[in-house]
Amino acid sequence: MLIGFFYTLRAAKLPVSVNEYLTLLQALAAGVVGPRSEDGWSLDAFYYLARTAMVKDEKHYDKFDRAFAAYFKGVEMVADFTRELPLEWLRKHLELELGPEEKARIEKMGWDELMQTLKKRLEEQKERHEGGSRMIGTGGTSPFGAYGYNPQGIRIGQDRGRNRSAVKVWDQRAYKDYDDSQELGTRNIKVALRRLRRFAREGAAEELDLDGTIRSTAANAGWLDLRMVPERHNNVKVLLLMDVGGTMDEHVHRVEELFSAARSEFKHLEFYYFHNCVYEFLWKNNRRRFAEKFPTQDVIRKFNKDYKLVFVGDATMSPYEILQPGGSVEHHNPEPGAEWLQRLTHAFPKSAWINPEPHGVWGYRQSISIIQQLMGQRMYPLTVKGLEEAMRLLSK
**Higher pLDDT pick, 278 / 64:** 278
| CA 299/CA 257 separation, integer angstroms | 25
Domain ranges of the chain: 3-79, 100-169, 188-196+235-395, 199-233
Say whether pLDDT at 109 is over 60. no
- Give the C-alpha distances (Å, rounded to integers) separating 62 from 5, 138, 251, 256: 16, 30, 15, 12
Phi then psi dihedrals of residue 129, to 5 deg: -130, 140
**Higher pLDDT pick, 202 / 275:** 275
**pLDDT tens per residue, range 174-188:** 566 766 555 444 467
Q: How confident is residue 78, by pLDDT bands cut at 50, 70 and 90? A: very low
Q: What is the DSSP letter of 108?
A: P
- Which strand ranges, in their side-by-side order, compose the sheet holding 154-155? 137-138, 144-146, 154-155, 168-169
Where are the alpha helices (H) located in 266-374, listed in sequence order? 296-302, 320-323, 337-347, 366-374
The SS3 call for residue 290 is coil
| CA 370/CA 379 separation, integer angstroms | 11
CATH domain 188-196+235-395 topology: Rossmann fold (3.40.50)
Identify the CA nearest to 92 among candidates 161, 150, 44.
Answer: 161
Q: How confident is residue 106, by pLDDT bands cut at 50, 70 and 90? A: very low
Inter-residue contact 338 to 374 (CB < 8 Å): yes
Phi then psi dihedrals of residue 368, to 5 deg: -65, -40
Say whether pLDDT at 299 is over 70. yes
Residue 276: the pLDDT is 94
Chain length of the chain: 396
| CA 144/CA 206 separation, integer angstroms | 64
pLDDT, average across residues 230-238: 73
Q: Which range scores top for mean pLDDT: 33-37, 264-268, 337-341?
A: 337-341
Inter-residue contact 58 to 51 (CB < 8 Å): no
Residue 91: the pLDDT is 39
Inter-residue contact 280 to 335 (CB < 8 Å): yes
